[in-house]
A and B are shown apart, each in its own frame.
Chain A
């Protein structure tokens, strides 16, 4: 596994080298089961792609791991700490699916706000802001309010907010939706760079080309993990030619088993 080797030594949590671990995690809403006995083990330094159709439990899983939803049963750990004990929170970055920004703040004010929330000092905030503005290519827009940005621009600012405090573990919920192809490529180059720095990235996506760039992917269906492995491994084990075909085949097999 490429990620495991680069896993940074100084980031070791308490007696656990996993970045994310869930043990038979369940989340039910009334009679609907969003997450069904999910067992995830994500090593530090991995770029892990959570894939699956809409409503398969990707977002719910991420929200549980970010301590935004309480699981119905089961256990979840991030960076070696139980979710809910907040000690790891400041080392985690979260980019929600919706833009989730204050429309009446400028980009600069937005980034300052998140820097302050994560306890960064002024110099740190300034340095990271420069770096990220260059990365998301919005240097010229720093004093524009979020309300006046296009959808894709807002998305880029939202990503910058999650990256500002240099987290060790990143949860990105569909970060490339509404982002143009060119920028999408540069996003992924950046995620790759993060992997080389030992940052664990957990990402949800619908794009197969993006799934290919993950070190490992897990396919969710009706809240269950129906396949997991490296992209090449999954294609091979399903006996298909492409990842897309493999997913369709696996989904069909899952249906067949149920009936």
Chain B
């Protein structure tokens, strides 16, 4: 069943037949410009959309400031509020500000009470100074961002006035010192889009082979199931690597991502992922009689991959009940390995466990897909 058990001559013949399939796929693409364009554009587009939309930062939040204080501290804090995060409007009295937040005109009212500066500068003799934050916490992301902006402004202002915490945290990044959310995100979207697109293309191509009768024709020929599967895997492995190159170029040129590791390792990961998804596509195609049925599988594949493989939030953030599922799907390992290579600059010595798991998935699914082709004879 497998290539390496065979004498060299037989192997050459088999490789030739597998290559005939690979060539067929590329020749088809030459005439099917739409699919060819999809292969080039879809991953880049998804990277750009996600990369721009999910910058991971909350911006332009409408807040109101009520300053009843006449001292310097409140003005200092207001001056230090991050104007990127917050869009500030001044309101003269507390009642009006509260009403506006209630009406949904703003997300929060930041209120400095009378005598705020005096209380702060009295060094605790006049009791504790308070900034009142009357906020709408129905959107936790925004509430957190507002709170963080106020806290930062407060700390900065206090240190300007010589107030200092007795302890500070000294951060010394081992990896990803300059990494922003987009850096974290790009390797994930790379693994994700190539995995999904490969599966989609294989699924559709294979349902086509089944419905048009070409698969039957291949099966009546000397072509073996293993050769068909390897032919497909080779074609989509190459396509996947091509997509990876496009994505790496866009990532570095548009999103200014520094690729710390070896891009060839990224190719290796992509090729492995492509093999897994080709075989999954073939397996799924045996359950679909028509293209329309095949499309119905997509949400079943896309949603778990999207949510569980650690593209947007780490696997550690997934509830422990669902976490085994994360570890049961191949893209999780692709995302991890890709991130380690691109952000940490890890080599084979460090990412081999993930590669091994991917290789295992590929081997099992390739076997199963060959089986499904052989069993296709009713």
Contact surface of A with B, Cβ cutoff 8 Å = 29, 63, 66-70, 86, 89-90, 92, 94, 96, 98-106, 109, 113-114, 116-119, 145, 147, 161
| 21 A-B interface contacts by CB (under 8 A) | A63-B216, A67-B219, A68-B377, A69-B377, A86-B222, A89-B222, A90-B221, A94-B220, A96-B217, A98-B213, A99-B212, A101-B214, A102-B24, A102-B28, A102-B212, A104-B29, A106-B31, A109-B24, A109-B27, A117-B222, A147-B31
Q: What are the residues of chain B within 8 A of A89 when measuring CB–CB?
A: 220-222
Known: A68-B219, A105-B28, A116-B16. 18 other contacts (CB 8 A): A67-B219, A67-B377, A68-B216, A92-B220, A96-B216, A96-B217, A96-B220, A100-B214, A101-B214, A104-B31, A109-B24, A113-B24, A114-B221, A116-B17, A116-B19, A117-B17, A117-B218, A117-B221
Does B32 sit within 8 A of A, measured CB to CB?
yes
Cα(A100)–Cα(B208), bound, Å: 10
Summed over the interface, the residue pairs from A and B with CB atoms below 8 Å come to a total of: 81
Return the chain B residue nearest A91 by Cβ: B222
The 0/1 profile, CB within 8 Å of A marked 1, for residues 260-282 of chain B is: 00000000000000000000000
CA distance A19 to B326 in the complex (A): 56
Residue of B with least CB distance to A29: B378
Q: How far is the CA of A222 from the CA of B219 in the complex (A)?
A: 27
Q: For the complex, is B20 an interface residue (Cβ under 8 Å from A)?
A: yes
Cβ of B169 under 8 Å from chain A:
no
**Closest Cβ neighbor of B19 among chain A residues:** A116
Q: Which chain B residues border A99 with CB–CB below 8 Å?
A: 212-213
Partner of B23, one of A94, A101, A116, A161: A116
Residue among B16, B20, B219, B220 with the most chain A CB within 10 A? B220
B223 within 8 A of A: yes
Chain B hits for A114, CB < 8 A: 221
The distance in angstroms between the C-alpha atoms of A99 and B208, with both chains bound, is 13
Q: Would you call B13 an interface residue if the criterion is a C-beta within 8 Å of the partner chain's C-beta atoms?
A: yes
Picked from A86, A96, A98, A119, the residue with its CB within 8 Å of the CB of B13 is A119
Q: How far is the CA of A29 from the CA of B378 in the complex (A)?
A: 9
Complex: how many Å from CA A105 to CA B27? Answer: 7
Q: Contacts A98-B213, A105-B28 known; A66 to B220 CB distance under 8 Å?
A: yes
- Known contacts: A69-B377, A117-B20. The answer to whether A90 contacts B222 by CB under 8 A is yes
Measured CA separation A109–B26 after assembly (Å): 11
Q: Which B residue's beta carbon lies closest to that of A89?
A: B222
